[in-house]
Structure 1
Amino acid sequence: MSATAAERQFDELASLYEDVAPWPFRRDIEVPSVLHSLGDLTRSDVLDFGCGAGLSSRLLAGRGARRVVGHDASEGMLSAARQREAKEQRGIEYVSRLTPELEQRFDLVLAVCVLPYASTRSELRQMCASMARVLRPGGRLLALPLHPDHAPDPDYYAPYGLRLVSDTPHAEGGALRVELRAAGVEADVTAWYWSRNSIEEALRDAGFGPVFWADPWPPGLARVEDAPPALHAYLRRPHAAMLDCRRARVSG
């Protein structure tokens, strides 16, 4: 599948995604939540869908996954990921295409901040179908889309280094500008809003079962007030959600 305009916007942003990784909402909320949800990966073959420069792929390898393949349509992102792999030799494979040889080869697909870059309903369906094809029957998808109930005020997330700017924040398929502004980072990318219903419909059409939604929540945290005060607003209304579902098993 060729890169869309939405995907090509990332070709020059590989270093930016490395810079964003240590931001507190990612380091202290998002990453711990994902790793806790994934659990033991030692017997799992995992595909990092929309791997970017390979941050999540490296986390998966560090958790002992049996096989890790990172997939991205952006050649700029893949180049950065491959350069790092050449130095560190973690055993991660990086691919720009999901070839037939990869179909039904994985126990888990991780898709961090990928679904919002489907610019049309057709692209959303294609993305979900691609993730389903590489999973074995019963395989799991863990994805972090834009939160369907994200705060409409563009300044709500400004203390966390990002703004979500849109004249119609929750309009189905509506474009919004994601502004990244912190720690020397300054970049804008375009994302698209999809409701729970639209995402679930696309996943169901791709052959996934029931979808379970949750907000990112660090393991061991009992209540918002127990977190550092600077993270309270984000925990109450995160900009990304976590969805969990499985590819249906073949009957008969």
Structure 2
Amino acid sequence: MQRSGTAVTERDESQFDGAADAYESSAFDIPVREHIEHHSIRRLCGEVNGKPVLDLGCGTGLYTRRLARWGADPVIGVDVSSGMLATARSIEDAQPLGVTYLRRDLTSPCACEPQYEHLTGNIPLILAVYVLCYARTREELTAMCRTVRTELKPGGVFIAPTLNPDYAVESPEGAYDDAYYAAYGFTLTAADSPAVNGSPVTLTMNFPEAADRKPVPALSVEAVWWSRETYAEALGEAGFTDVAWRSMEVSPDGLETYGRAFWQPYLARPHARVIVAR
């Protein structure tokens, strides 16, 4: 596995460094994350037992830990945020799963580190959950994809949930209504209508109160809207030849807990879709 440079700016770190607690809470408090995202990613990852897996933009290690519990080995989580990684390492210390965490920028790989050299170009599965939509420029997006291609084994798969390019298409359903996703615990605010490549999109997660914990403040982060064509071009320039978009689906538990009608508006205009590239 390759070591990366340090091109990411202070803005990138400040956006996430103080967000670790909220990010962990969102995995269970935001219904879409628990009952659609988690369920769909597990299905798309398939059999991972005994396989090396790289979790790019791992944050607090939510999916890094899940990959380890699903049987992947070794599992390496990579992120640029010191605050996120501090939480990930603290959880690993308390409940060891054998996960390795590295602080790296995802846009500019450089010289190999000896202990991971054997993994470069030999990783069969790379996961990047909501990472590509934080590339601020077309160049950064392509650079992220090149990093993935360098690490990925020939025939391996890259799974990347990202902001759904179609969510921001104007329609009678109110694509730009901030409250459209409120029932699911978050809002999206697009800066431009219609959206154009590079348009900022603010995602705000609102957490319910719970008697058994201190209140979790709302968390807002700024993502970037990229078109399907731009994603395809960036991946193609990086060396990917097979790029598909997959929809997420509701888990059986999610249907039982909330009912089908609850999920219908979200499924009609999901805020995220999954890129599967080879």
TM-score, shorter chain, exceeding 0.5: yes
1:113 is matched with which residue: 130, 133, 139?
130
Provide the secondary structure at the position in 1 that maps to 2:197.
Answer: coil
- Post-superposition shift, 1:121? 0.6
Does residue 207 (structure 1) correspond to residue 239 (structure 2)? The answer is yes
Larger of the two Rg values belongs to structure = 2
Q: Which residue number in structure 1 is paired with residue 20 of structure 2?
A: 14
Superposition pairs of residues 92-107 of structure 1, within 5 angstroms:
92-97=99-104, 100=112, 101=117, 102-107=119-124
Does residue 192 (structure 1) correspond to residue 214 (structure 2)? The answer is no
Give the counterpart letter for 1:214 in structure 2.
R
How large is the RMSD of aligned CA atoms in angstroms?
A: 1.9
Change (3 A) 1:202 1:21: same
- Post-superposition shift, 1:103? 2.1
Q: Which residue number in structure 1 is paired with residue 9 of structure 2?
A: 4
- Post-superposition shift, 1:243? 1.0
Q: Which residue number in structure 2 is paired with residue 48 of structure 1?
A: 55
2:192 is matched with which residue: 143, 153, 168?
168
- Post-superposition shift, 1:205? 0.6
Does residue 216 (structure 1) correspond to residue 248 (structure 2)? The answer is yes
Name the structure with the higher helix share.
2
Superposition pairs of residues 120-135 of structure 1, within 5 angstroms:
120-135=137-152
In the aligned structure 2, how far is the partner of 1:65 from the partner of 1:133?
20
Change (3 A) 1:21 1:220: closer
Percent identity over the alignment?
38
CA offsets per residue over residues 199-251 of structure 1, 9 Å max, x none?
11111111112211021113669x9xx953222211221101011011xxxxx
What residue ranges of structure 2 are gaps of 5+ in the alignment? Answer: 168-174, 209-215
Higher mean displacement: 94-103 or 63-72: 94-103
Q: Which residue number in structure 2 is paired with residue 244 of structure 1?
A: 276
CA offsets per residue over residues 128-162 of structure 1, 9 Å max, x none?
11111111111110000100111332221111121
Q: Which residue number in structure 1 is paired with residue 182 of structure 2?
A: 158
Give the counterpart letter for 2:186 in structure 1.
L
Provide the secondary structure at the position in 2 that maps to 1:128.
Answer: helix
Say how many residue pairs are matched. Answer: 243
In the aligned structure 2, how far is the partner of 1:152 from the partner of 1:5?
29
Kept after mapping to 1: 8 A contact 2:35/2:251? no
Give the counterpart letter for 2:84 in structure 1.
M
In the aligned structure 1, how far is the partner of 2:72 from the partner of 2:56?
15
Provide the secondary structure at the position in 1 that maps to 2:16.
Answer: coil
In the aligned structure 1, how far is the partner of 2:64 from the partner of 2:266?
25
